[in-house]
Amino acid sequence: MAPEEPGSTAPAPAGPSPAGPSPAGATPPTLLDLSTYLLSRTGKAARSRLAERLARRGLRLWDMAVLAALADFGPHAQRDLVRRLGVDASDMAKVADQLALAGYVERARDAADRRRLSVTVTGAGRALLAELRAEALAVQDEVLAPLSGAERRVLHELLARVHAELPGTP
């Protein structure tokens, strides 16, 4: 079970870039060549850092998403938040409940359809969202540190286009 493949030469890395820190060993080039891999890694770094900052406030990423949706598009019925954000209805109920308890949103039964709960962001919610946005920008600055302003704009534009076409996102 060892058909030695002579041709499967590893793309031996000439050498770890002098500037590149590699105290623990370099990442395999086979992986680094994959945009998939880089996207996954950098995305995970961004997410986990932001999540960690939110966690310090007892919040999760969904909380921020809900506040953003309410601030950007105005009051939603809970079911519309579910549709817009693509989250499970049951999970949305929990998020909304927590946000309402903390005073960041208000919930009221829709008079027209008493099954529906209309969710509205409060002043406190808007203020919080502004802070969370600042946190996100701080993370962004941290993660994108090696890029110039112009490069960051290019990256953002490319990612926006990729994101726009992702199934499940629209």
Of 110, 104, 30, 119, the closest CA to residue 64 belongs to: 104
The binding track of 136-165 with respect to a copy of itself, each residue x by CB under 8 A or -, is xx-xx--xxxxx---xx-xxx-xxxxxxxx
40: Cβ contacts below 8 Å, ≥ 6 apart? none
Which residue's entry shows tokens 């909380």?
63
Candidates 7-15, 92-100, 109-117 — which segment interacts with a copy of itself by CB under 8 A?
7-15
Q: Which of 88, 131, 141, 142 binds DNA (CB under 7 A)?
A: 88
- Number of residues near DNA (by CB under 7 A): 28
Is 67:128 a contact under the CB 8 Å cutoff? yes
CA dihedral 33, 37, 41, 42 (to 10 degrees): 60
User: Is residue 55 close enough to count as binding a copy of itself by CB under 8 A?
Assistant: no
User: Is residue 152 close enough to count as binding DNA by CB under 7 A?
Assistant: no
Question: What are the two backbone dihedrals, phi and then psi, of residue 45, each rounded to the nearest 5 degrees?
Answer: -60, -45
Distance CA 82, CA 78 (A): 6
With CB under 5 to 8 Å by kind, the binding choice for 150 among a copy of itself, DNA, none is none
User: Is residue 57 close enough to count as binding DNA by CB under 7 A?
Assistant: no
Q: Which of 93, 136, 143, 144 binds DNA (CB under 7 A)?
A: 93
Candidates 11-19, 58-66, 137-145, 151-159 — which segment interacts with DNA by CB under 7 A?
58-66
Candidates 22-30, 87-95, 139-147, 150-158 — which segment interacts with DNA by CB under 7 A?
87-95
Distance CA 113, CA 85 (A): 22
